[in-house]
Structure 1
Amino acid sequence: MMTALPRVRPEEVGIPPSAILRFMEDMTDKNMNLHSFMLLRHGKVAAEGYYFPFHKDLRHPIFSVSKSLTSAAVGIAIGEGRISLDDKVIHFFPDKQPENVHPYTASMTIRHLLSMQTVHRKSTNKEARDIVFEYLHTPPSHPPGTVFAYDTTGTHTLCAILQRVTGTTVHDYLDARLFQPLGMQDIEWETCPLGINLGGSGAYCTTEDLAKFGQLYLQDGVWNGTRILPEGWVEQSTSKVVDNSSAGILLEGRSGYGYQFWRARRQAYCAFGAGGQFVLVSPHHDAVFVSTANTMLNRDEHQGILDSVWTHLISSMQEPCPFDVAGYDRMKQRLSALKLHLPKGSSFSHAAAQVSGHPYRLSANEPGWTDCQFTFSDQACELIFIHETGRSRVVCSMNDWHIGPDPFFGLPSACCAVWADSSTCLIHIQLLEQQQMFILTCRFDRDGLVLQIKPAGALKTNHLDLVLIGTPINKP
């Protein structure tokens, strides 16, 4: 049964509306590509924001937050006596073992998988049909328990272990034990070709689902008086197990790593997924913050979200908190008007009339486009790519978001265009059901067109990361 978290005015839980306003303003000032956020204190929603066209019912990819779901499943399975932390990984896969198991691989345990202290320097082959087979056959580089190395295929191996001992997928295993008791909506979770949930990624859920998951951990694994996670598992899995100073990403000062959870400042911890998917739990403040976003254009941009949370939200929590009627009204108005970050620019340029409707012959390119054509009006921009077998197009609103298919995958997207200067048109495309965006920088002059396409996201887009040279095609 789906049940919503209770909603309150932020002052009722010790948060000034002005703090939430400052957080939103800071996200705007940083040009942060935030999709949604939710702030809980004392188990109640103090604020939630959805950046149009994203909305509260949308299931968003959460990437490596999936690892924390897997961690919860491991804890439950331990509580049911199905597995233990010191079980050898190789024990569960007699059919996938190499003929001669390396001693390092033979001594690797579930505990090592959970804490990213496996025998590999990085993930093994994530594209393999049988990921676990490849994992066990990849030569190890060091003994388990000696090196912190982020290893998504290790988390997938945890899912494979759970599926073997429970006889069902981790998704279905958690559905009755965690998802349904918390009233989490229909969780989607991708599987590998063998039907095993990906474990290290692949889950989709709503913003409120993430908040409920964080609140469960804040409540030590208890929900409505019922214990969901085994007693002691929250503390054990979110405490610092290993130093992560060698981590290749910047996240909360590399404060340590637990069992598929990252340590944070002020004794907090978080589940983290690429691109700004966060579940931040601060027991000291009895608070949970969650976000969905796409910060993949810059590797460590996600940290800017948490920095703003600590600076503007958590630091402002106080008891008691006086009611601020005017501030609350401004906060509500701002929340109701949130939109995806728009690039700065104008809706008009004299160049629009000069280039509109005129085709350009494109330089050779991997996608195989031969020509392109722009059509501008006061309210919209249309870009068409022409290739031997047909054409693809994108329609953008000028200085606003238009909902329609993107030109590369044909998936639902938000598309906008602005003139950054008199000769440069910027086109931003954000896919709505996949973690992917594109920035098209279109520079026009008398000699033709230079069109840069910059992808940022999780889809395979290397062939689209390019610069095209367009030569005007003379009219007959």
Structure 2
Amino acid sequence: MVGMTERVDAVLRAGGTPHLHGLVVLRDGEVVLERYGAGPDHALNMPLGHVEFGRDTLHDLRSVSKSVVGVVYGIALGEGLVPEPGASLVRQFPEYDLPGREHLTIEHALTMTLGLEWNEQLPYTDPANSEIAMELAPDRHRYVLERPVVEEAGKRWHYCGGASALIGEIITRGAGRPLPEYAAARLFEPLGISAFEWSMGDDGAARAASGLRLRPIDLAAVGQLVLDGGRGIVPGEWIEEMLRPRVVTDGGGGYGYQWYLSRDGRMAEGIGNGGQRLVVVPEKRLVVAVTAGEYDRGLGSSQAVLDAVLEP
């Protein structure tokens, strides 16, 4: 039987992952496979040129940032700094006048079921893309909360980076310090993660939906924490709630609190534009972190290497 390492290396030799930047696989918390590539890269939309990737190279997580924010919310909740998911969303933003949105809860943001108008189907270079429009707005949180109501909240999953922005701001307000600072103190430092970047918008708010940069080995450490049930850093009850399917995504899988869940319930995942992936597979005792450079083009390279890693 061909082993995981042999399968992955065969895919790499065959050119099946032309845009792969990094791969780290943990089993039982130990590194069992680590590979790096080279190629052009970006920090959000800023070109970085040709990069030779290695263990110490930071990489955009793009929307895997959302899944990390979901973990951080659980830490803040355990410390009593943020409300329970069932609490009113608009009451967390008392400075805004938001008639017709009193029904919204924090859980609607955590599960991307706000029922507000939002479109991220356009390229992330297009100002008509709702996340880019949010970035261009003078106040991202007001922009999100004032989107027109188009359907009943809580019924249908609809991809929305604005939902993650609201979650990040609730953490910031509850903790009394910026999201990156709180995440560093309560999540990264306890995991031994000292190198990270979290970009800020022009409005001074952290880009909770897409702005985190980590080393793949450190992204894998976050996944291992989830696999281990929180290890006292995150309340174990939150990990269970975070990974409980609450709505079906457009792809037919489940969605919890900022995490995708496979149809068979055996895998939890964070997914980011360009092929960024964080996969947690409890029954295999595996964590897989992948970074890639297929921005606005799909998940081909990351999917090819993941298929090789996870092949039965």
Higher strand proportion (structure 1 or 2): 1
Q: Quick one: structure 1 residues 181 and 160, their matched pair in 2 at CA, closer, same or farther if it must change by over 3 Å?
A: same
CA contact (8 A) 1:97 1:133 kept: no
CA distance in 2, matches of 1:305, 1:158: 27
CA contact (8 A) 1:34 1:292 kept: yes
Q: Deviations over 1:413-446 (max 9, x none)?
A: xxxxxxxxxxxxxxxxxxxxxxxxxxxxxxxxxx
Higher helix proportion (structure 1 or 2): 2
2:236 equivalent in structure 1: 231
2:41 equivalent in structure 1: none
1:45 equivalent in structure 2: 31
CA contact (8 A) 1:271 1:279 kept: yes
Alpha-carbon shift at residue 96 of structure 1 (Å): 2.0
CA distance in 1, matches of 2:54, 2:230: 28
Q: Quick one: structure 1 residues 297 and 115, their matched pair in 2 at CA, closer, same or farther if it must change by over 3 Å?
A: closer
1:60-79 → structure 2 map (5 Å cutoff) = 60-79=59-78
Amino acid at match of 2:116: H
CA distance in 2, matches of 1:22, 1:166: 45
Partner SS for 1:185: coil
Report whether the alignment pairs 1:191 with 2:177: no
Higher relative contact order (CA 8 A, sep 6+): 2
Alpha-carbon shift at residue 54 of structure 1 (Å): 1.1
Amino acid at match of 2:115: V
2:53 equivalent in structure 1: 54
Partner SS for 1:272: strand
TM-score, normalised with respect to structure 2: 0.85
2:291 equivalent in structure 1: 292
Report whether the alignment pairs 1:216 with 2:225: yes
Q: Deviations over 1:49-98 (max 9, x none)?
A: 11141111111011001101110121112212231111111101121224
Larger Rg: 1
CA contact (8 A) 2:17 2:301 kept: no
1:162 equivalent in structure 2: 171
Alpha-carbon shift at residue 161 of structure 1 (Å): 1.4
Match among 301, 306, 309 for residue 309 of structure 1: 306
2:274 equivalent in structure 1: 275
Unaligned runs of 5+ in 2: 39-51, 120-129
Alpha-carbon shift at residue 293 of structure 1 (Å): 0.2
Partner SS for 1:88: coil
Match among 103, 107, 114 for residue 107 of structure 1: 103
Amino acid at match of 2:33: A
CA distance in 1, matches of 2:302, 2:253: 17
1:348-359 → structure 2 map (5 Å cutoff) = none
CA distance in 1, matches of 2:188, 2:36: 23
Equivalenced residue count is: 283
* Identical aligned residues as a percent: 28
Partner SS for 2:236: coil
TM-score, normalised with respect to structure 1: 0.57
CA contact (8 A) 1:130 1:193 kept: no
CA distance in 2, matches of 1:55, 1:263: 29
CA distance in 2, matches of 1:148, 1:240: 11
Alpha-carbon shift at residue 18 of structure 1 (Å): 4.3
CA distance in 2, matches of 1:167, 1:194: 17
Amino acid at match of 2:60: P
CA contact (8 A) 2:66 2:209 kept: yes
